[in-house]
Amino acid sequence: MKGALAIAAMVRAGRVSAAALIEQAIADVSADSLHAVTRVLAARARGEAARVDAVVAAGGDPGPLAGVPYGVKDLFDVVGLPTTAGSAVYADALPAHADAEAIQRCQAAGAVLVATLNMDEFAYGFATINAHHGTTRNPHDPARLAGGSSGGSAAVVAAGLLSFSLGSDTNGSIRVPASLTGIHGLKPTHGALPMAGMFPFAESFDDPGPFAGSAADMAAVWAVLADAEMPVDDDAPIRLALLGGRFRENADPDQLTVIDGLASGAPMLELPDIERARSAAFLITAYEGGSLHRAALARSAMAFDPQVRDRLIAGALLPRALYKEAQAFRAAFRKRIAALMCDVDVLLAPATPCIAPPIDDPRIAIDGVLVVARAHLGIHTQPISLAALPSLSVPLRRPDRLPLGLQLIGRPGEEATLMRYAARLEADGVIGATAPMRARVGEAA
């Protein structure tokens, strides 16, 4: 499927109808073999496409995303449907009375919602291993994970089933699957994009964000969600730095080679207390997630995915004093990061420490020890979440290998700078999404 901007231009010019595009999208997601799709919204999509075509026929402009098919992670409210957050616990919940605000903004821009997408139950994991909807498979090698918790949202874009999608990111749930599937994924400045109508995981970390196949498409969808102007590159210098310490100890050589080449002569920064920062992120999210689900756990614990249930129970048992201590550390950590970045526009870091692990052995090596991927793929994203900084995962251009991404990390509110820099890297051939390879089970990076 073509990119979002290309489709919107054709629809607005009347060269193709939204209805025809959406029929193809419905057929594509209905044939999904990646366990990426949870519900196909055919009737809704046809209605939205008809409204777009009517505006075009009347000589109007349906918006910057006119007729573009997209999907949303299964924790966004979709009017008339229960919001399950990937769990059987809420399968029979009352239907949402309105769309999530992010969906409303996409619809106002002319985009057409086609499907809801698979996720780790309650967004608790980095793998999209779901007990009810299956494990989402990586389009580049279906024997490997797509990452999570927004794995379904990443997989449909990487596979070309939909032009863009929406996910949520708490500690890396957009950036991790974007890296493993070879597309762009944004964690915005915390609180910058609307959370209204989304099932939370840990509210002091959660943010919605888009997945897209190109820098331009990412910028367009971000502008719609943020109600902002499209970033325009003014050729102004962008001051770079690279992250050292733990960010170099668990990384692929390709990532480090590209980072070092881009940031030649730039300072190398070490985030203070990085291990404490990751521990604080784990603790805060566990406490907030456990608190959120305490009543449901007491009422129907056996309805939860066993792996998620045990982690939520552990979080619910954490003492509040420990949570407050972690929050105090978080506040101090943010101040120290702000001081480090006062003369830096973009920090460069790996997005994930490795390629996607195999589904039949979902472990990765951290410090030379094999650990569970579901909990540890976010080693490089969690500290950035703790700092509440915007972070854009971009795909390294390596068409002969499985995907890997870099994080472009900015100062709060500076998403446009990240978009401009990503566009430059794409133009220079450093980054760029590639079509999925044939499945190559067991291939090494």
Would you please indicate which residues are annotated as catalytic (active-site) residues? 73, 149, 173
- Closest to 218 in 3D by CA, of 156, 165, 255: 165
Please, what sign has the CA dihedral across residues 200, 143, 429, 244? positive
Residue 266 is classified by DSSP as S
**Count of alpha carbons within 13 Å of 159, Cβ hemisphere only?**
28
| Tokens describing residue 15 | 């060269």
What is the separation of C-alpha 158 from the centre of its chain, rounded to a whole number of angstroms?
12
Q: Which residues are registered as beta bridge partners of 165?
A: 71, 211
Q: Which residues are registered as beta bridge partners of 198?
A: 76
Please, what sign has the CA dihedral across residues 126, 137, 46, 10? positive
Using CA atoms of 155, 351, 224, 121 in order, give the dihedral in degrees to the nearest 10: 50
Rounded to 5°, the CA angle 189-193-196 comes to: 135
| Residues 251 and 364: beta-carbon distance below 8 Å | no
Cα-based distances in Å from 131 to 141, 359, 396, 438: 21, 14, 32, 27
Going by C-beta distance under 8 Å and a sequence separation of 6 or more, which residues neighbour residue 31? none
Residues across the chain: 445
